[in-house]
Amino acid sequence: MTYGITVNGLGHAFLREFGCPCNRCTLKEHAANTSVSIFRRDNDGAGIEWHALIDAGLGVVTSLCNYFRPEDARLDWLLFTHWHPDHSLELNRLCETTRRSARYRSEPYVRIPTWCREGTSQWLKKTYSYEWHRCLDPRIFHETAPPGTILESVPLDLPDMTVTPVSVSHYSADIDPVTFKDTLYSSASFVVETDRKKAVLLWDIDNHNEWIVSPETDEQNRAVSFLSNADYLFIDCFTWAVEEVRGYNTGHISFSTVQRYAKALSPRETMLMHISGHEEGEGNDGWGWSDEQWEREAQNIWKSKSLPGTVRVPSIGETLQL
Ligand SMILES: [Zn+2]
Ligand SMILES: [Zn+2]
Ligand SMILES: [Zn+2]
């Protein structure tokens, strides 16, 4: 039995901006919002017998078609880091294609078991009421824990893999969908563990997660240990240096904060996700950089500062063993 993780997308919210002349926006290649698949195979070369998708933004279904074989088409769980459109916009397409893939396998369609946080469930219920009620089978714990709390593991019911959410701050998503202003924690990172490997999925986080660097409570200390020493740390790297634009927080961390969080968490391999660079402004470091340039610049800093493990930008479609 083997487990793997495939990168379905690592794009930021808008993927490509119409009218932007930068190197990223003029690249005519498949792009998809940040998302990964976790899957289990019976043995090497055999078909996939279990598959969970984490986040369902734009381009994700095309990625599934590109990077998995038709006979591997199945979806056993859907997990959301949070409700933002770049993590949920392709929900309708995903639900409908999953309905059809059950038919191709001559199996009855069952609603997709879905995990997200309470705040995200309220947003999704409101925005995607058809999909929520007809296509998904929500497994929600009614918790509202603050950032830095280990939540109950997702009830996947697998003998040799666990996925455990940890609450994180992503303030532009941590909003009550009724009042549009009260704080309602909606965002999670995930720790994926098998007997062999640990992967941490830490994207769409802002710079109010200082508990990662200086935990204060017992719970925060537990959360930091739990996120530490991963084989793979997939982390938000929205910008190179800027975290505020015209006085507004971007809601994401820059590479400067990535370095501090990686130093605190000591992963073996750091993978930069959700890259934009637009917010730096034209002509500044990060603006228009290709993934290759992001990787090169990040590796130079990693080396000069002796940061833990290695750093790189994964490729879309890449699969890692878990
Ligand atoms: Zn996002
Ligand atoms: Zn651009
Ligand atoms: Zn977001």
Report pLDDT for 36.
98
Average pLDDT over residues 29-58: 93
Residue % of the chain over a pLDDT of 90: 93
Indicate whether 230 pLDDT > 80. Answer: yes
Report CA(204)–ligand 3 centroid distance (Å). 5
Report CA(86)–ligand 2 centroid distance (Å). 17
pLDDT in tens, 211-223: 999 999 999 999 9
Report CA(26)–ligand 2 centroid distance (Å). 7
Report pLDDT for 46.
79
Cα distance between residue 41 and residue 50, in whole Å = 7
Max Cα distance, the chain (Å): 56
Average pLDDT value for the chain: 96
Indicate whether 45 pLDDT > 80. Answer: no
Report CA(279)–ligand 1 centroid distance (Å). 14
pLDDT in tens, 21-38: 999 999 999 999 999 999
Confidence of residue 8 (pLDDT cuts 50, 70, 90): very high
Indicate whether 15 pLDDT > 80. Answer: yes
Report CA(159)–ligand 3 centroid distance (Å). 31
Indicate whether 145 pLDDT > 80. Answer: yes
Q: CA dist 74 to 91, 155, 232, Å?
A: 15, 18, 25
Q: Which residues contact 322 (CB under 8 A, 6 or more apart)?
A: 2, 3, 4, 5, 38, 161, 192, 194, 196, 197, 199
Ligand nearest to the CA of 83: 3
Ligand nearest to the CA of 35: 1
Indicate whether 81 pLDDT > 80. Answer: yes
Ligand nearest to the CA of 27: 2
Strand order in the sheet with 77-79: 136-138, 112-115, 77-79, 48-54, 35-41, 2-9, 319-321
Report CA(173)–ligand 3 centroid distance (Å). 6
Worst-scoring range by mean pLDDT, 38-42, 63-67, 129-133, 270-274?
38-42
With 0-12 / 13-18 / 19 or more C-beta atoms within 10 angstroms meaning exposed / middle / buried, residue 180 is exposed
Q: Token pair of 216, please?
A: 């204060």
Query: Residue 154 gets which letter from DSSP?
Result: P
Cα distance between residue 315 and residue 309, in whole Å = 19
Ligand nearest to the CA of 251: 3
What ranges do the domains of the chain cover?
A: 2-321
Superfamily classification of domain 2-321: Ribonuclease Z/Hydroxyacylglutathione hydrolase-like (3.60.15.10)
Q: Is the distance from CB of 39 to CB of 1 less than 8 angstroms?
A: no
Report CA(70)–ligand 3 centroid distance (Å). 30
Q: Which residues contact 13 (CB under 8 A, 6 or more apart)?
A: 33, 84, 85, 86, 276
pLDDT in tens, 268-277: 999 999 999 9
Confidence of residue 286 (pLDDT cuts 50, 70, 90): very high
Q: What is the DSSP string of 93-117?
A: HHHHHHHHHHHHTT----PEEEE--
Average pLDDT over residues 84-105: 95
Confidence of residue 93 (pLDDT cuts 50, 70, 90): very high
Indicate whether 293 pLDDT > 90. Answer: yes
Residue that has been written with the tokens 């990535």 in this structure = 258
Cα distance between residue 283 and residue 299, in whole Å = 21
3-state helix, strand, coil in the chain (%, to 5): 25, 25, 50
Indicate whether 43 pLDDT > 80. Answer: no
